[in-house]
Amino acid sequence: MVSTASGARGMDHVGQQELVARAQRGDHEAFCTIARGALPHLYTTARLILRDSERAEDATQEALIAAWRDIRGLRDPSRVNAWLHRLVVRSCYRLAERERRHMARIFPILDADAPGVADNAGLIAERDRIGWAFRELTPQQRAILVLVYYADLPLAEAAAALDIPLGTAKSRLHRACRALRAVLEADERQPLAVSEAIR
């Protein structure tokens, strides 16, 4: 199970760069501090992209293993968060590709028992509808939406995390928003079409 301990995410920029430098010299404890700080955000990013908590844990773990293996190659320690997001997105893509045929289940976009989610039928129905629509997008579309709107990365950092040019990120974000809107609008029209067909 993925832990949600906090650490490096709230630390100042200089402190995090020092941790990265130490991790690059092989300091496992420094890397663990970075990983603990980033873990909750990386896991939630993976869960929103993959729509499954167990696969999100696998993707996050795979990304952190890759991070420890490859941290010496990180040229700009100030971009460690974008780099970690890139690794987790790549892990998500690999898992989604491997398990493409097993994506039939629908996972809501929010946890039903998350704090602050009211227990009323309208909100639950809307959450499920958005979750279903989000599930209809490709992993690449979900990834750009999650990085920009959930992880709150500037578009340039989201582009770096996805390893695509900024212009491509802009057009992918635009297409993903348009696709999500189209799925939701088609869902709204469907009950109307059914009611007209049975008249």
Domain extents for the chain? Answer: 8-197
> Would residue 57 be called left, alpha or beta, if left means φ above 0 and alpha means ψ between -120 and 50 degrees?
alpha
Please check whether residue 89 is in contact with residue 162, taking contact to mean a CB–CB distance below 8 angstroms: yes
Q: Report the share of the chain in percent with pLDDT over 90.
A: 42
Instruction: Report, in angstroms and rounded to the nearest whole number, the Rg of the chain calculated over CA atoms.
Output: 19
The predicted pLDDT at position 47 comes to 92
pTM of the model: 0.64
Using the predicted structure, report yes or no on whether residue 40 has a pLDDT greater than 90. yes
Mean pLDDT of the chain: 79
CATH 1.10.1740.10 corresponds to the domain 8-197 = yes
* CA separation for the pair 72, 23 (Å, rounded): 8
Task: Determine the angle formed by the axes of helices 28-50 and 53-70, rounding to 10 degrees.
Answer: 140
